[in-house]
Amino acid sequence: MSTAGKDILIRFKNRWQLMRWMEIFLYAIGPALLIYFLFLNLILALVVFMLVASICALILRPWSLKLEDISCYIDGKLNSMEYSTGLLLVPQKSLSGLAQLQQQKVSAELKEKIGSIKPKNNLLKAGLITSGLILFGFIMYQFNLTNHFRSSQPLVEEHETILFEPTDSASAESDPPVLESQELIISYPAYTGVSSFSTSKMDIRAVEGSRATWKLKFSTKVDSVTMESMGNSHPMKLVEHSYSGTSVLNTSGFYNFRFMDTLGGSYASKLYSIEVIADKSPVIEIDALKQFSSFNFDDEKRMEFNTLITDDFGIADAFIIATVSKGTGEAVKFREEKLSFEEPVKRGAKSMSLSKKIDLDQMKMEPGDELYFYIEARDLKQPVDNISRSETYFMVIKDTVSYGWAVESSLGVDLMPDYFRSQRQLIIDTEKLISERNKLSKVKFNSTSNDLGFDQKALRLKYGQFMGDESEGGITAQEAGGNEEEEDPLAEFTHDHDGANEHNLVEPEHDHEEEDNENTKDPLSEFLHDHGDPESATLFTDNLRSKLRQALNIMWDAELYLRLYEPEKSLPYQYQALDLIQEIKNSARIYVHRIGFDPPPIKEEVRLTGKIDEVTNFQKKEDLQKPESYPFIRKAVLRLEQLIADGFPVNSEDRKLFEQAGNELAEKAIDEPGKYLQTLQNLKWLSQERQNEPEMFVDVQRGLLLAIPEPEPMPGKRKNFSGEINELFLKELELND
């Protein structure tokens, strides 16, 4: 058997089977998508897909293909095979010599011409049918022609039935038309992916932008049907014996139905609520990311973080907006970049977990540069999408250049130079050294600890300058050397004419002037602030000077243990020094320029002339009292009290008042429709020309009283009656208390 020839037949068989499976898929996906566009039911579409795929699979039977069928098909397509392709399936040992030669010839010929043979298939036909079905369903869905397929008549419960009542006494005498069927179809926006549904309940709660369609069918012919919503009337059209109306839901409110019979009678339904739910913006949650991060120049300047983005109907896009700032002052420059996450953003997903690695070196940042970035997410809302932004995060590369400081005479004193904050950096470096003790060699550890001790010394000397210290240790030369004079190294090689030698043996005279100076010591010297004294010649007050001296002493101990390679013992002293420095920083004062008032120049030609023609009086009146809230509701409550007490019928002025009160209540009832809907309905009945029961007056008055807000507290001094007997009684209570 020729192994190479049989392998060619097996590959051709697999190719043929794959094309049949693709044909089955195309035949099944077309009807499934058509059903989904018509009914917006995913389960029904899957059932149709499985059913059609099963039928096509039983017809095409791709698993029934055999190598013998393949060889016969190739023999019919290639005359050069000489109907000998079947020899490739026979073992070579069982063939004669001539048959073996023929087998080798057929194998070589098949290898050369197998590419010119195509398996029998109907992929083009299946593709055209599927495309036509999908296009037809999409057009039906896009132009809202699919409601007819989805409008299965729901079962109407008794409490959900729309009840129409006559609006005048003339209509009440005749029998009104009966409502046979009612249906409300709510179609959510396409981007939500929510299927349309129908219901018999007339109270609506849907997403903003949804389309509501009402269908009402009456037992007898009526003249007209309208839908009234927030003071507007929308006529409903007669379509297939049912009155239909459509509206796009953008705001919350109330609506009701009204129809006119053939005799001119008017009938109205009760009010129903419309609650529009706003599409929420995406929610961005970032895990364990610091608001501010700084890096040294030799650090690995990278940051990794994860973020979770969720949305109620799907996410459209998410990315990072990063801004790099370079330079300082007027020379600062900004560069904005749009960064993508490591994972691709799946459009339409309701929840995504994304990660990002930010490398400052790849962003070509240098010491002193800063990076500001935030995450922005958009949802699928149309026509205007919702946008959410996270907080702004900062990444800074510390500048390696240090700047000196100077004091301008007109600007006052700046007591806080930049190196006042370096004690915190020493603490960070010391803690880092302690944590890496096991990773470093002893020589490296000791060297690093000694370097930190040197940095502590440099910091102490900087602070010592503010205390007037002139030597390294903060001790003046006089304190260090006492009154002893330094030995002159050239004394033995020179001839001192002024000294006590053999040429100058004169007895020294007694210095009376020195004694006089000691006796005439200034008695006020101890009460004066001597700027020549190193302890007093500082930029700080006495309290700050003592704290700074204490911090310098603590820095001595911190430096000592760092020099002894014991950073653990040095760390508490460094924290104490940092606390004292922070207290000094908080106690410092900053002085600013004084800016005086520069009046406009005086016109000498009109000065002291006494002319006031162009001077006019100014008078302003302002009502500081707040306007009364809900005035018509308050008047309606009083009027209802009179109607309940006297039993008079409702007149035209009362109807107008109740209509105005209903408008005020409607604004309040939009936020709480369940609480005020019945009261609003009763007010609507009262504002129409019809008979009203006294019990309705009580219910409406109770509902209006609930709608009136509680009065704001107005604190004030109360004037209580106080008599002589009461004052004597209070005094006795105080004495006996």
Residues 550, 523: Cα–Cα separation, whole Å: 30
pLDDT at 722: 64
Side-chain half-sphere of 604: how many Cα atoms within 13 Å?
0
Burial class (CB in 10 A: 0-12, 13-18, 19+), 250: exposed
Strand order through the sheet with 211-218: 197-199, 179-187, 211-218, 242-248, 237-239
Residues 281, 388: Cα–Cα separation, whole Å: 6
Read off the DSSP letter of residue 156: P
Residues 578, 572: Cα–Cα separation, whole Å: 10
Residue, of 298 and 415, whose pLDDT is higher? 298
Name the pairing type of β-strands 266-268 and 237-239: unpaired
Residue, of 494 and 339, whose pLDDT is higher? 339
Q: Which of 729, 734, 678, 733 is nearest to 706 (CA)?
A: 678
How large is the average pLDDT for residues 254-260? 89
Residue 269, number of CB atoms within 10 A of its CB: 21
Read off the DSSP letter of residue 363: T
125-156 pLDDT, tens digit per residue, is: 889 999 999 998 888 877 766 655 554 444 55
Residues 634, 448: Cα–Cα separation, whole Å: 82
247 in Cβ contact with 275 (< 8 Å): no
3-state secondary structure of 711: coil
Residue 563, number of CB atoms within 10 A of its CB: 17
Of 106-110, 377-381, 416-420, 654-658, minimum mean pLDDT range? 416-420
Evaluate the CA torsion angle 236, 238, 243, 248 in order and state its sign: negative
Read off the DSSP letter of residue 507: P
Name the pairing type of β-strands 283-287 and 302-310: antiparallel
154-175 pLDDT, tens digit per residue, is: 455 656 788 888 876 655 566 7
Question: Is the pLDDT reported for residue 321 higher than 90?
Answer: yes
- Strands (E) in 90-236, as ranges, are 165-166, 179-187, 197-199, 204-207, 211-218, 222-229, 232-235
3-state secondary structure of 297: coil
Highest mean pLDDT among 39-48, 309-318, 413-422: 309-318
- CA 428 to chain centroid: 33
How large is the average pLDDT for residues 695-703? 83
Query: How would residue 495 be classed by pLDDT, with cut points 50, 70 and 90?
Result: very low
Q: Which of 667, 694, 693, 689 is nearest to 680 (CA)?
A: 667
**AA identity, residue 300:** E
How large is the average pLDDT for residues 225-241? 86
Residues 220, 175: Cα–Cα separation, whole Å: 11
Residues 6+ apart with CB under 8 A from 568: 434
Of 215-229, 369-383, 465-479, 545-559, minimum mean pLDDT range? 465-479
Residues 206, 186: Cα–Cα separation, whole Å: 8
Q: Which of 305, 324, 338, 302 is nearest to 371 (CA)?
A: 324
What percent of the chain is modeled with pLDDT above 90?
19
Number of residues in the chain: 737
Residues 610, 614: Cα–Cα separation, whole Å: 11
Residues 628, 442: Cα–Cα separation, whole Å: 83
Residues 598, 557: Cα–Cα separation, whole Å: 56
Read off the pTM. Answer: 0.47
Residues 318, 357: Cα–Cα separation, whole Å: 15
368 in Cβ contact with 397 (< 8 Å): yes
Query: How would residue 472 be classed by pLDDT, with cut points 50, 70 and 90?
Result: low
Residue, of 608 and 276, whose pLDDT is higher? 276
pLDDT at 48: 92
Helix (H) or strand (E) run with residue 129 in it: helix 123-142
Evaluate the CA torsion angle 387, 392, 393, 399 in order and state its sign: positive
For the chain, the average pLDDT equals 77
Q: Kindly state the tokens that stand for 343.
A: 């994972």
Residues 206, 687: Cα–Cα separation, whole Å: 30
**AA identity, residue 7:** D
pLDDT at 252: 86
Name the pairing type of β-strands 204-207 and 272-277: parallel
pLDDT at 624: 67
pLDDT at 733: 80
Of 255-259, 286-290, 329-333, minimum mean pLDDT range? 329-333
Residues 461, 470: Cα–Cα separation, whole Å: 9
Read off the DSSP letter of residue 104: H
307 in Cβ contact with 287 (< 8 Å): yes
pLDDT at 673: 67
Side-chain half-sphere of 433: how many Cα atoms within 13 Å?
26
pLDDT at 598: 67
Residues 639, 697: Cα–Cα separation, whole Å: 10
How large is the average pLDDT for residues 439-468? 86
Residue, of 695 and 206, whose pLDDT is higher? 206
- Compute, in degrees rounded to 10, the torsion defined by CA atoms 44, 48, 50, 51: 130
Query: How would residue 660 be classed by pLDDT, with cut points 50, 70 and 90?
Result: confident
**AA identity, residue 577:** A
3-state secondary structure of 326: strand
Residues 469, 174: Cα–Cα separation, whole Å: 111
pLDDT at 162: 83
pLDDT at 318: 94
Of 323-327, 328-332, 726-730, minimum mean pLDDT range? 328-332
236 in Cβ contact with 196 (< 8 Å): no
Q: Kindly state the tokens that stand for 499.
A: 């000294």
Buried b (16+ CB within 10 A) or exposed e, 382-420: eeebbebebeebebbbeeeeeeeeeeeeeeeeebeeebb
Highest mean pLDDT among 20-24, 471-475, 602-606, 623-627: 20-24
Q: Kindly state the tokens that stand for 123.
A: 């992929």
Residues 6+ apart with CB under 8 A from 227: 214, 233, 234, 236, 245, 247, 255, 256, 257, 258
Of 90-99, 575-584, 666-675, minimum mean pLDDT range? 90-99
What percent of the chain is modeled with pLDDT above 70?
76
Name the pairing type of β-strands 292-295 and 222-229: unpaired
pLDDT at 620: 78
Burial class (CB in 10 A: 0-12, 13-18, 19+), 565: middle
Q: Which residue matches tokens 């107005």?
A: 714
Q: Which residue matches tokens 């290898």?
A: 111
262 in Cβ contact with 222 (< 8 Å): yes
Q: Kindly state the tokens that stand for 354.
A: 């994304």
Residues 107, 99: Cα–Cα separation, whole Å: 12
681 in Cβ contact with 650 (< 8 Å): no
390-432 pLDDT, tens digit per residue, is: 998 988 988 765 444 444 433 344 444 443 347 888 898 899 8
Vertex 557, ends 554 and 558: CA angle to 5°?
85
